Every structure is written in C-alpha cells, then in structure tokens.
A and B are shown apart, each in its own frame.
Chain A
Amino acid sequence: MTPLPTSFLQSVVRARTSEAAAEWIEHAAAIDAVDAFCNAYTAVPKHAGRAPLALTESERADLVAWAPDLRCDRWTVDDAARAFLLLSAAQRLEPGAFVSLAIECYERGDAREQQSWLRAISLLPQADRFTAVTVDACRTNIVPLFEAIACENPYPARHFPERQFNQLVLKALFNSIALARIVGLSTRVNADLSRMARDYAAERTAAARPVPPDIAMAIIDDARQESAR
C-alpha cells in the first residue's frame, strides 16, 4: 500500500537520523504556537543534518506513486524534515491557521529555509493558496532560491498564471539555468513565451553574445501554434 506523504517523509527522515533526532523532529512537527514552530523549522538541520537525501529505489517508487513529477535529487535530509513539519501542520491545523503559519514560516526564513519551503510547496494540500508567495519568490536575486521554485519543482507549471510562468522561464534563461530543469515546461509553452524567447535571442545576437542552445524549448513550433488555433 502507498504510504501517505506525511508518513512517507517521516520514515524517510527516520531512516537517516538518530532516534533522538527523529524524536526531536516529530515533537517539532506537533508544535502549534507560531513562534515555536518557526524556530523549530529554523533549527531542523541541527538535528536532521544536511546530507543529500539520496532516496533508495523503493522510496523512489513510493514517491512516484503520489508525487509523480516531483524531483528530489537535490534535496537534503533537512529539506525532507522541514517538508514533514509543514505537512504535519497542514494535517493538524484548520486551513486558515495553517496558511498563516506556513507564510510566516516562509517570510521569517533565511535563504536556506526558504529554499526548503519552496522545494516542498507542491506537496501541501490546496497548494494554489501559495501562488502569491511563490511568484514573489521568483523576484529574488539569490539564484539557489530562484532554482528552488523554478527547477525540479512541479509547482510553477501547475499553478503559475501564464505571464508569471513566462517570466520564470526568461529568468532561467537569463541566469544560464538549463530549461530542462523546469518541470512541465513543454505543457506550458505559449505564443507570448515564444515571442519573448525570440526577442531574447535577437537581443543576445545584437550584443554579439551566445544564444542559449536550449532556448528552443521555450518556443512553440509553427505546426503546434497552427493546431493551437
């Protein structure tokens, strides 16, 4: 039987931490007070460590069953433990209280905490409640933070409005991030994105600078454009 996301994350974390650390994390996941919860979210790496998560084959199979397009290859153990904290709170709290807790947790976070938060965002129930926060996260100049939402993350393709999704793709190009890392890009290419990508290529050419070879992934081909009409 497929484990629920929360118990899946719990067992993944348990398999990689000491008994004392696992108990601390499970205790933290049950905290209701906003300040104490956010402080615990900050302190997670002290207990969970920062080693690569490195899921086993069977764990990968479990993950695919309920989050088929999430890629956790760059996750660390503290990312998984923080995701467990958020998912536990989502199960326990009434929706309004959970949303304000989660947003507080994001806004108080340092860049690394925000990175963990963004990596987990697609796993939360009714994740579309966090579109404003995640769109705003794309405005950062801290590239690893931008990558946490833009790359290996199914959230933008699933929830971003077209204009914001297009801006994300252009920002990835601008920062030399491989477009193959944007989950679901092929399902979201559109005429406006194609125009923006072509303009970007023209701007690079006029400046005698190389055009990223994967820019074609952002451009809808003529045949598809025709059939979309």
Chain B
Amino acid sequence: MRIFDPHIHMTSRTTDDYEAMAKAGIVAIVEPAFWLGQPRTAVGSFVDYFNSLVGWERFRASQFGIRHFCTMGLNPKESNNPRLTDEVLALLPRYLDKDGVVAVGEIGFDDQTDAEQAAFTRQVELARDFNLPVLIHTPHRDKKQGTIRSIEVIRSVGFPEERVLIDHNNEETLPIVLASRCWAGHTIYPNTKMDELRMATLVQKYGSDRIIVNSAADWGISDPLKVPKTIAVMRAQGIPDATIEKIVWDNPVAFFAQSGRLDVSDIQAPAAVDRTQKFETNSVLRGEQVGKT
C-alpha cells in the first residue's frame, strides 16, 4: 500500500529513518514548519529554517525516493515572542508561492494567548490571499477548548472549512471537528496524543471521511513508522484495505492537492533515485561511489 505521511518533521530525523520509511511504503510526506524545541531569538533563524524546508530537506528526501512537501507558518508557541512575530509574518509571502509549499501551517494555539490568536488570524488571511489550505496544530493543554476556538478563528475570517486540516485530534475533539467541514488529523505517538489501537477504534466508530493519520515524528520521542504501524493494527482489527487506503493516501492527497501544487499522477509514479546528484555541491553521499539505484 502506498503511504502518505502528511505531518513529519524530517529536519530532526536521520537518513536511517528515510531508508526505513521508503522500505515501509512511504512515498510522500508533508513537513510542517514548526518550532525546534529551542526558542529562536532572531528572524534570520527562521529564514534559514524555511530555506532548508524548500531546499536541502526536499533534496535529502528525494535521495530516498520520497516526495517532500512542506507547509510554511509561524508556530503558535513562538507567536508569543513580540520581537519576532511581525518580522516572521512579513517573511512568509516570500515562501508561500514556492514549489512544494502545500499549505500555511502549522498554526493555531498553544497557551491560547491573545498574541497567538492574532498571529493565527493573520496567517489564515495569508492562506486566503495565496489560495492555500491551512494546517492547524491543536494544543496539548486545554485541547478541547483550543479546538473550538480554532474553528471560531477560521469562521471569523470566513475561510472555507473544507480547506482546513485540524491536527492532533483525540476522542474528545474528533466529534467537534467532524461536526464542522474541516478535515481531522491524528498523530500516532508512542506515549502521548493517540495510539494505533485507539485510532482503529475511532475509525470503526466514525468511518474514514475526512480522517487522516500521521506520525508527527520530530526531535522528541516519536516514530516515523507510525503510519505503517497503524495500518497493520487497523488491518488486524478487521478494517478493510479500501478504508485504510482512503485514510493513509486518498484523504491526505485530496486535502493537499487543493494547493494546486501536488501533482497526483507524479507522486503515484515511482521516484527515480540518483545519489550522485548534488544540492549546492553537497550530496547525501560521504565520498562513497554509489551508482544509480
């Protein structure tokens, strides 16, 4: 089964991860811009990070036969830094028209402050101006309230709900999202958020319409193979392959294709991998002579 992981922070992952992901059937990924675990203190750090998302990381993924897309945005946590917010938001239009940028995100709430709400709203407006979908991060703390407030922000801007993916849902928030016209993402983590069996139970209860799963693997305890592992558990629970395929391929592809920058026939074709290729004189090779695979 072809797999699309619509939320994974590859900047924090190794080439071993890329190898294992390709072997497990992951052929396309979306890397949302987020925070790096350590707060950034200057706008230049964002410039370099955004450049790497459309540059080096995209190239690196290609060397393992994986199509890499990304979303661009100022994350909610760092929206609380008044010295940076305006400068970073002013940077975004530079990136929102680039190839491979398939949404504005991940944006939304963390502490649910006024500063977060302002940056969130401004970025939904930017998505509207650039005709891009929106990827929303829901908070760890006070998640239910944060989900309700996120939908309120979308509605206050008059942004089309079918172009919004609300992520990191759980049993309490999924019915709220499904009652809107937004899509519902689920992050399968080793210890927090959602696990494979709970996910299978949600699919049995709610079906597969607008349902998406991802690994959100990053610099914390996480697992880039969580989508294939969830497929295995859903199969073991008797969920039909057609339903599973809709969740791990059709839905994320349909959602991000709304950007107009995801060519469905292209990502379905096997990727040619040439590791002798270079990105600004760098390759993923370490001096070894490897031919085309």
Contact surface of A with B, Cβ cutoff 8 Å: 107, 136, 139, 141, 163-164, 166-167, 170-171, 174, 196, 199-200, 202-203, 206-208
In the complex, what residue of chain A is closest to B41 when comparing beta carbons? A107
Q: Is the CB of B141 within 8 A of A174?
A: yes
Contacting residues, chain A, for B171 (C-beta < 8 A): 203, 206-207
Cα separation A163 to B116 with both chains bound (whole Å) = 13
Q: Is the CB of B112 within 8 A of A163?
A: yes
Contacting residues, chain A, for B39 (C-beta < 8 A): 136, 139
Q: Is the CB of B80 within 8 A of A136?
A: yes
Q: Is the CB of B144 within 8 A of A203?
A: yes
**Contact with B141, one of A107, A170, A207, A208 (Cβ below 8 angstroms):** A170
Instruction: Jot down 17 A-B pairs with beta carbons below 8 A, ordered by A.
Output: A136-B39, A136-B80, A139-B110, A141-B220, A167-B111, A167-B141, A167-B142, A170-B141, A171-B140, A171-B141, A196-B142, A199-B143, A199-B172, A200-B141, A202-B172, A203-B171, A206-B170
Closest CB-CB distance, A170 to chain B, in whole Å? 4
What range describes how many residues of B lie at the interface?
20 to 34
Cα separation A206 to B111 with both chains bound (whole Å) = 23
Q: Is the CB of B220 within 8 A of A170?
A: no
Q: Is the CB of A163 within 8 A of B80?
A: no
In the complex, what residue of chain A is closest to B81 when comparing beta carbons? A136
B229 part of interface (Cβ distance < 8 Å):
no
Contacts A163-B113, A164-B111 given; indicate if A139 touches B140 (C-beta within 8 A).
Answer: no
Q: Is the CB of B111 within 8 A of A139?
A: yes
B210 part of interface (Cβ distance < 8 Å):
no
Report the 6 A-B pairs with minimum CB-CB distance, sorted nearest first.
Answer: A206-B171, A170-B141, A196-B142, A167-B111, A203-B172, A199-B144
Cα separation A149 to B205 with both chains bound (whole Å) = 42
Closest CB-CB distance, B271 to chain A, in whole Å? 34
Contacting residues, chain A, for B111 (C-beta < 8 A): 139, 163-164, 167
B198 part of interface (Cβ distance < 8 Å):
yes
Q: Is the CB of A207 within 8 A of B142?
A: no
Contacting residues, chain B, for A107 (C-beta < 8 A): 41
Closest CB-CB distance, A19 to chain B, in whole Å? 39
Q: Is the CB of B141 within 8 A of A196?
A: yes
Contacting residues, chain B, for A141 (C-beta < 8 A): 37, 220
B77 part of interface (Cβ distance < 8 Å):
yes
Cα separation A136 to B80 with both chains bound (whole Å) = 8
Closest CB-CB distance, B199 to chain A, in whole Å? 11
Cα separation A207 to B113 with both chains bound (whole Å) = 27
Closest CB-CB distance, A167 to chain B, in whole Å? 5
Contacting residues, chain B, for A170 (C-beta < 8 A): 141-142
Cα separation A170 to B112 with both chains bound (whole Å) = 13
Cα separation A163 to B140 with both chains bound (whole Å) = 15
Binding site secondary structure of chain A: helix
Q: Is the CB of B41 within 8 A of A196?
A: no
Encode contact with A along B77-92: 1 for CB under 8 Å, 0 otherwise. 1001100000000000
Contacting residues, chain B, for A163 (C-beta < 8 A): 111-113
Within 8 A of A (CB), among B213-271: 220
Cα separation A171 to B143 with both chains bound (whole Å) = 12
Taking A167-B142, A174-B140, A202-B172 as known contacts, 12 extra A-B pairs with beta carbons closer than 8 A to each other, sorted by chain A number, are A136-B80, A167-B111, A167-B112, A170-B141, A171-B140, A196-B141, A196-B142, A200-B141, A203-B144, A206-B171, A206-B172, A207-B170
Contacting residues, chain A, for B81 (C-beta < 8 A): 136
Contacting residues, chain B, for A208 (C-beta < 8 A): 198
Cα separation A203 to B170 with both chains bound (whole Å) = 8
B204 part of interface (Cβ distance < 8 Å):
no
Contacting residues, chain B, for A139 (C-beta < 8 A): 39, 77, 80, 110-111
Cα separation A136 to B77 with both chains bound (whole Å) = 9
Contacting residues, chain B, for A174 (C-beta < 8 A): 140-141
Closest CB-CB distance, A102 to chain B, in whole Å? 17
Q: Is the CB of A207 within 8 A of B198?
A: yes
Contacting residues, chain A, for B194 (C-beta < 8 A): 207
B52 part of interface (Cβ distance < 8 Å):
no
**Contact with A199, one of B77, B110, B145, B220 (Cβ below 8 angstroms):** B145
Within 8 A of A (CB), among B102-135: 110-113
Contacting residues, chain B, for A199 (C-beta < 8 A): 142-145, 172
Cα separation A199 to B138 with both chains bound (whole Å) = 15
Cα separation A206 to B201 with both chains bound (whole Å) = 12
Closest CB-CB distance, A22 to chain B, in whole Å? 34
Most chain A CB atoms below 10 A, which of B39, B41, B81, B220: B39
Closest CB-CB distance, B76 to chain A, in whole Å? 10
Contacting residues, chain A, for B77 (C-beta < 8 A): 139
Contacting residues, chain B, for A207 (C-beta < 8 A): 170-171, 194, 198
